[in-house]
């Protein structure tokens, strides 16, 4: 007797229902951390890439994906950790960016990932950073960085000079 396996499109849809444990408004597919879904004979293989290598949410994400897919009737399942290519915020979907903004987190500004170079340092020291982060609450571009790090590894802390509210910026990575 053969059982009809769900299509990988169907599995992707199910995965889009799995929230990120730290920022529950976005799903694991919005974040771009699900890299592949495939059937290996009767085994469903889901390849997941970590965001930051020490992010404690990684284990929880694996658990949530597994639990959700089992609830959908997938019994034979294997999760693979994929390191290469390393995760980048370029993979955060447009929809994910809108959801972040609505939740009060400024989405990443593409192409501004840290490169370890000192040019960026000089610009920042003189206060003339060309990186403009728009306040997700009032839309002002008069914002300033409070700290390069925030409540989770993927975020930095900012403050709006117009509405005076603090907010998180999802760092370009």
Partner 1 sequence: MPSLPDAATPDAAALAKQAAAHQSHDPHVADVDLQPALFDWLCRMGDNSLVLGHRLSEWCGHGPALEEDIALANTALDLIGQTQMWLALAGEVEDAGRTADDLAYLRDTSKFRNLKLVELPNDDLAVTLMRGFLFDAFHFELLKELAGSSSPRVAEIAAKALKEVSYHLERSSDLVVRLGDGTTESHERMQAALNRLWPYTGEMFKADGVDEAVAEAGIAPKLSDVLPVWQRTVDDVLSEATLAKPDRKFDAQTGGKQGRHTEHLGFLLAEMQFLQRAYPGASW
- Tell me which of 53, 140, 141, 142 binds partner 1, using CB under 8 A: 53
Separation of alpha carbons 19 and 29, rounded Å = 9
Applying CB under 8 A, does 150 fall inside the site for partner 1?
Answer: yes
Least separation in angstroms between CB 42 and partner 1: 16
Least separation in angstroms between CB 1 and partner 1: 28
Nearer to partner 1, 81 or 161 (CB): 81
Applying CB under 8 A, does 132 fall inside the site for partner 1?
Answer: no
CA distances from residue 92 to 25, 29, 133, 136, 152 in whole angstroms, order as listed: 13, 8, 17, 17, 16
Q: Do 132 and 100 touch, CB atoms closer than 8 A?
A: no
Q: Identify the DSSP state of 61.
A: H
- Tell me which of 90, 121, 139, 141 binds partner 1, using CB under 8 A: 121
Site string for partner 1, 11-30 (x = CB under 8 A): --------------------
Residues 73-92 that bind partner 1 (CB under 8 A): 78-81, 83-86, 88
Closest CA to 124 of 139, 106, 146: 146
Burial 60-72 (b: 16+ CB within 10 A, else e): ebbebbbebbeee
- Tell me which of 6, 19, 62, 72 binds partner 1, using CB under 8 A: 62
Q: Do 4 and 74 touch, CB atoms closer than 8 A?
A: no
Applying CB under 8 A, does 166 fall inside the site for partner 1?
Answer: no
| Token reading at 76 | 């034979």
The residues of the shown chain that bind partner 1, judged by CB under 8 A, are: 50, 52-60, 62-63, 66-67, 78-81, 83-86, 88, 113-118, 120-121, 124-125, 146-151, 153, 157, 173
């Amino acid at each position: 007797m053969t059982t009809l396996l769900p299509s990988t499109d169907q599995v992707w849809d199910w995965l889009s229902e799995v929230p990120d444990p730290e920022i529950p408004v976005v799903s694991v597919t919005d974040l771009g951390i699900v890299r592949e879904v495939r059937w290996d004979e009767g085994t469903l293989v889901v390849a997941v890439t970590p965001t930051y290598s020490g992010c404690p949410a990684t284990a929880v994400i694996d658990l949530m994906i597994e639990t959700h897919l089992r609830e959908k009737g997938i019994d034979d399942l294997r999760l693979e950790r994929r390191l290469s290519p390393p995760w980048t915020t370029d993979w955060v979907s447009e929809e994910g960016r809108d959801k972040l903004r609505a939740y009060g987190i400024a989405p990443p500004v593409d192409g501004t990932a840290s490169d370890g170079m000192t040019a960026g340092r000089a610009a920042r020291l003189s206060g003339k950073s060309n990186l403009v982060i728009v306040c997700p609450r009032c839309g002002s571009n008069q914002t300033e960085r409070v700290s390069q790090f925030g409540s989770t590894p993927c975020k930095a802390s900012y403050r709006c000079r117009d509405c005076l509210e603090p907010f998180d910026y999802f760092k370009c990575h």
